[in-house]
Amino acid sequence: GEDVEQSLFLSVREGDSSVINCTYTDSSSTYLYWYKQEPGAGLQLLTYIFSNMDMKQDQRLTVLLNKKDKHLSLRIADTQTGDSAIYFCAEVRDYGQNFVFGPGTRLSVLP
Amino acid sequence: GAVVSQHPSRVICKSGTSVKIECRSLDFQATTMFWYRQFPKQSLMLMATSNEGSKATYEQGVEKDKFLINHASLTLSTLTVTSAHPEDSSFYICSATLPGQGGGYTFGSGTRLTVV
């Protein structure tokens, strides 16, 4: 289909790792993004990955990209209560002309 | 699935003119829509929350007289950039909450505004 897909909800215990998955559709996407939205706030860019990479690590965040399956994941190590938010993946289509977002995954961190 | 159609995708206008961007929910009723702006290499900044039939709620620092938001029906919200200046050049994107799923959002494809 045409959609970027994500699971809507994820719950993890504090200190565990969180893995948020995303599937996209446009194999020509050059950039894939992860955004975080805290309550009442705008979308904060967490990280992005170029399509010629298969992994990117930034402190507690690890992004894995499987181009063959068009699958993107965001792993948050040692998840904290402050990580509770909605996480969106997004791809840029049409050679940078259009952003396409997933519906967002609501991460709940339990004490 | 629930789709938000945003138009135009690109617009170039002269300084001093006004530009209207439309976001339309195609197969659901969007009581609340959100308008974002993205500066180059930065995150999407929430500009305002638009509720059908009432005035939009603007975020701090966003000029409501410059960025006019109208949400007159359950399927259409518009953002009008009035008296545009080159510094208004940016990427604008709208989103709406998905109906009946307890979570999730759907986004328009964005509008790239260039003011010359």
A43 with B112: Cβ contact below 8 A: no
Spell out, as residue ranges, where chain B has pLDDT lower than 50: none
What number is the average pLDDT over the span A85-100? 77
DSSP class of B74: T
pLDDT of residue B101: 54
Beta bridge partners of A12: A109
pLDDT of A17 over the 80 cut: yes
* In the block, residue with structure tokens 């008296």: B83
pLDDT of residue A95: 57
Confidence of residue A31 (pLDDT cuts 50, 70, 90): confident
pLDDT of residue A40: 67
A15/A6 Cα distance (integer angstroms): 23
Burial pattern B44-61, b for ≥16 Cβ within 10 A else e, equals bbbbbbbbbeeebebbee
Q: Which of B115, B82, B98 is nearest to B34 (CA)?
A: B98
Chain A CB contacts of B109 under 8 Å are 98-100
Chain B CB contacts of A42 under 8 Å are 36, 43-46, 59
pLDDT of residue A51: 82
